[in-house]
Chains A and B, each alone.
Chain A
């Protein structure tokens, strides 16, 4: 049973978090040198006359005081309007709406593959701590952590093109709803690349949690009662080791929501990471602010879900 007080505290905390993110991002964007005019024109901005500059500042909304800029954007957001991109003139909501599903799908695919592989590998390693299978699994995980995503991604793209004459061409992105195979043929490679690091983290957490639980009294008791080894692993060890696994999965999933920039660049996926990156380059303030807000909402929601999941997995946390 989820307490009302708990829900209110979490909801209030989430709102404060989002407001904090909005303020910090707004300020950070303004503190760094340059604005939409220099970002767009480079040194040509030096050739502008005063009237031209003033006209452009008005066009980009830079002529208003910072406080007015912030609250006019926030006011729009509260009424459901995420603003309009300074560059393309399209609504931020429609741009984010097109990019978000791609990033979410990529993150979900990577998380599913990464969690499954990580848990299996972790349990495999924990089944014989200190033995060869443990060492092998840990080495594999270390490799997964050590190879940067951008290297792995570039190698995968180059290898697919050179040896199979295949390029995961996402110039025309195929949504999952139009064609499952078409969509997966574009998404599976970037998802696999992302899943490698994801799996390595999950594996290490799973292994250490499982090794710890395997020494617990209730496991020894179960063994003494003659419960089969497989059942002990799945019902007793894994279940009790799952709180840290869920935690690390949640954290990493949140990371993927805002952190798929490199992979989206390499595989030319028009996702949220790339949208955010390009809009920062262009100093497209409304789009950056709204995109970050959406990423932050994603984080907050994922964390709420993780907290809820704790309460389902481990009844002891419900008292908190």
Chain B
């Protein structure tokens, strides 16, 4: 689930506030409502490469490649010029990358700060501030060779002291860093010389590279940490430097001409806040923006066939799912969960709720670990007869009700998904009692596992352990809402994460996916699309599954 903020709650409160003001006022009147805003945790990283020896392929930087590329993606190596304007519905919510949760914040700060390693558009690990790394001591020590000649925005040189101070800041509980749980196996950080940083772990942890690639693990200037100025004015080593922020209006970044990966193709980058997606579409038609970021399929459908911009659809790592609470009867019976998983025709959910934009998915969405999305299920999804038989075998042939929570206002398809699932499951006698909740009450019910079923949009990652370790390992931080404890799932996750042998990882995570589908703690449905409206003047923009906008570091404008 991601955490875009509570639109409807806020709208209701706005109305209530208006009413309060009005009723307290002699003449009286009412308030008003509406709007849009997002937020959530992003993560990155993927694929095999894993620990052990890894490339130091010098300066490829953000110049990744990848899926869905904008029309005319030639790369013009002209001097940085022009202002690239990105329109999106929400604003950054804080300036500290270690605390960032909103997508907008992660997207923006990811262009200002760097991390030790990065991922390319296919989710593969590539060098970042570290040019190479190697493991020793059975995978419990990782030594990073740092990039030479990198400078902070104020001109100071980047050194291993910055790495040490940054990681220690994340690990300090008082920081409340979002990514702390993903780095919790780090016991200490050494900086033996300015160009080398060494991480000591309590156990081998392959997922740590992907955790380190996240914006939440950005390397900060040690001087800023000591001075307590982190979060005031961003001071990074990324392709853009921080210029200004007018809350709820725009963020302006300037090209960092000294960037180690090469100077950006535009002189400045502006993120504008246009709360209504329809208005973003209108602005693109009028040529006011170079890039529009949308999430609502119904708005994106209106963007087809425009003459001055292209619609790019990018499947994302996050996934739409119906979580079942296996601690409550009758969902504690395996066959009941399997019956529900069998009864749901995933494609029908995509067609009705998401205008057909989406891909049926199994539990693992990483491009590096693509397996059959149904292998493990006892029957073909949509097979109602098999589902009814499973219910009868479980002694629940008479049907039952499930309290099902649905989050409203966070993402466009939630309610339609719930209603479609309700219609489909009614055919096998399972009645979903839908409870539509705004974000905060939904999050509370979700964290307390106060539901039989929960329709959710959960964040994905390129690393399977980062996706499911938190839910299905015995010491995971979200085992309660996971709804099911399984020794087998725990063992598979721990095994996959403690090896850097790619063949073993592939086999282990394939088995993990199969076991998840067999045990059916949840009903995995589909991966949705993000939509980018890309002006025909833009060259070199690449949409990514992890929703990162790092390709803006090399995008250019023509005309």
Q: Which one of B21, B250, B288, B470 lies within 8 Å of A258 (CB-CB)?
A: B21
Are B443 and A42 interface neighbours, CB within 8 A? yes
A-chain residues with CB within 8 Å of residue B232 when the two chains form the complex: 89
B-chain residues with CB within 8 Å of residue A171 when the two chains form the complex: 85, 87, 249-250, 270, 272-274, 288
- B248 on the A face (CB < 8 A): yes
- A11 on the B face (CB < 8 A): no
Pick the interface stretch among A137-145, A210-218, A268-276: A268-276
A-chain residues with CB within 8 Å of residue B102 when the two chains form the complex: 40
Are B17 and A292 interface neighbours, CB within 8 A? yes
Are B29 and A46 interface neighbours, CB within 8 A? no
Instruction: Give the distance in Å from the alpha carbon of A265 to the alpha carbon of B174 in the complex.
Output: 36
With A33-B440, A46-B477, A254-B27 known as contacts, the answer to whether A281 contacts B37 (CB < 8 A) is: yes
Q: How far is the CB of B236 from chain A (nearest CB, A)?
A: 18
A-chain residues with CB within 8 Å of residue B270 when the two chains form the complex: 171
A-chain residues with CB within 8 Å of residue B22 when the two chains form the complex: 254-255, 299
Instruction: Give the distance in Å from the alpha carbon of A262 to the alpha carbon of B7 in the complex.
Output: 12
Q: How far is the CB of A251 from chain B (nearest CB, A)?
A: 5
Instruction: Give the distance in Å from the alpha carbon of A98 to the alpha carbon of B178 in the complex.
Output: 32
Pick the interface stretch among A113-121, A159-167, A174-182, A219-227: A159-167
| Per-position binary interface string of chain A over residues 46-59, scored 1 when its CB falls under 8 Å from any chain B CB and 0 otherwise | 11110111011001
Residues facing B in A287-320 (CB within 8 A) are 288, 292, 295-296, 299-300, 302-303, 306-307
The residues of A with any CB-CB pair to B shorter than 8 Å are 13, 17, 20-21, 24-25, 28-29, 32-35, 38-49, 51-53, 55-56, 59, 85, 87-90, 95, 98, 150, 154, 157-158, 160-162, 165-167, 169, 171-173, 247, 250-252, 254-255, 258-262, 265-268, 270, 273-278, 280-282, 288, 292, 295-296, 299-300, 302-303, 306-307
B-chain residues with CB within 8 Å of residue A267 when the two chains form the complex: 279
With A13-B26, A41-B3, A259-B31 known as contacts, the answer to whether A280 contacts B10 (CB < 8 A) is: yes
| Per-position binary interface string of chain B over residues 266-288, scored 1 when its CB falls under 8 Å from any chain A CB and 0 otherwise | 00001011111011011101111
With A17-B24, A251-B27, A281-B10 known as contacts, the answer to whether A262 contacts B286 (CB < 8 A) is: no
Instruction: Give the distance in Å from the alpha carbon of A254 to the alpha carbon of B282 in the complex.
Output: 30
Are B13 and A160 interface neighbours, CB within 8 A? no
Instruction: Give the distance in Å from the alpha carbon of A63 to the alpha carbon of B36 in the complex.
Output: 29
Closest 8 CB pairs between A and B?
A: A42-B3, A34-B440, A167-B286, A161-B282, A259-B32, A171-B272, A255-B29, A51-B173
B-chain residues with CB within 8 Å of residue A43 when the two chains form the complex: 1, 3, 443, 446-447, 478, 481
- B91 on the A face (CB < 8 A): yes
Instruction: Give the distance in Å from the alpha carbon of A273 to the alpha carbon of B273 in the complex.
Output: 15
Are B273 and A28 interface neighbours, CB within 8 A? no
- B9 on the A face (CB < 8 A): yes
Are A38 and B13 interface neighbours, CB within 8 A? no
- Which B residue sits closest to A284, measured CB to CB? B93
Are B33 and A261 interface neighbours, CB within 8 A? yes
Q: Which one of B2, B20, B27, B35 lies within 8 Å of A25 (CB-CB)?
A: B20
- Which B residue sits closest to A88, measured CB to CB? B247
Are A270 and B246 interface neighbours, CB within 8 A? yes
Q: How far is the CB of A10 from chain B (nearest CB, A)?
A: 9
- Which A residue sits closest to B28, measured CB to CB? A251
- B231 on the A face (CB < 8 A): yes
Q: How many residues of B contact A (CB 8 A)?
A: 84
Are A167 and B2 interface neighbours, CB within 8 A? no
Instruction: Give the distance in Å from the alpha carbon of A171 to the alpha carbon of B275 in the complex.
Output: 11
B-chain residues with CB within 8 Å of residue A161 when the two chains form the complex: 281-283, 285-286
Q: How far is the CB of B441 from chain A (nearest CB, A)?
A: 5
Are A262 and B248 interface neighbours, CB within 8 A? no
Are B13 and A24 interface neighbours, CB within 8 A? no
Pairs A–B under 8 Å by Cβ, sample size 26: A13-B26, A33-B440, A34-B6, A42-B3, A42-B40, A43-B481, A49-B180, A51-B173, A52-B174, A87-B247, A88-B94, A158-B278, A161-B282, A167-B279, A171-B273, A250-B27, A258-B18, A262-B33, A273-B14, A277-B35, A280-B9, A280-B17, A281-B6, A292-B20, A295-B17, A300-B25
Instruction: Give the distance in Å from the alpha carbon of A162 to the alpha carbon of B231 in the complex.
Output: 41
Q: How far is the CB of B183 from chain A (nearest CB, A)?
A: 12
Are A46 and B176 interface neighbours, CB within 8 A? no
- B16 on the A face (CB < 8 A): yes
Known: A41-B101, A277-B33. 7 other contacts (CB 8 A): A20-B24, A46-B481, A49-B173, A95-B247, A254-B29, A278-B91, A302-B27
Are B26 and A303 interface neighbours, CB within 8 A? yes
With A24-B24, A51-B174, A261-B32 known as contacts, the answer to whether A157 contacts B17 (CB < 8 A) is: no
- B30 on the A face (CB < 8 A): yes
- B439 on the A face (CB < 8 A): yes
A-chain residues with CB within 8 Å of residue B272 when the two chains form the complex: 171, 268
Q: How far is the CB of A217 from chain B (nearest CB, A)?
A: 30
Residues facing A in B215-240 (CB within 8 A) are 231-232
- B534 on the A face (CB < 8 A): no
With A46-B477, A262-B32 known as contacts, the answer to whether A270 contacts B249 (CB < 8 A) is: yes
Are B274 and A40 interface neighbours, CB within 8 A? no
B-chain residues with CB within 8 Å of residue A45 when the two chains form the complex: 443, 447
Instruction: Give the distance in Å from the alpha carbon of A17 to the alpha carbon of B23 in the complex.
Output: 9
B-chain residues with CB within 8 Å of residue A260 when the two chains form the complex: 32
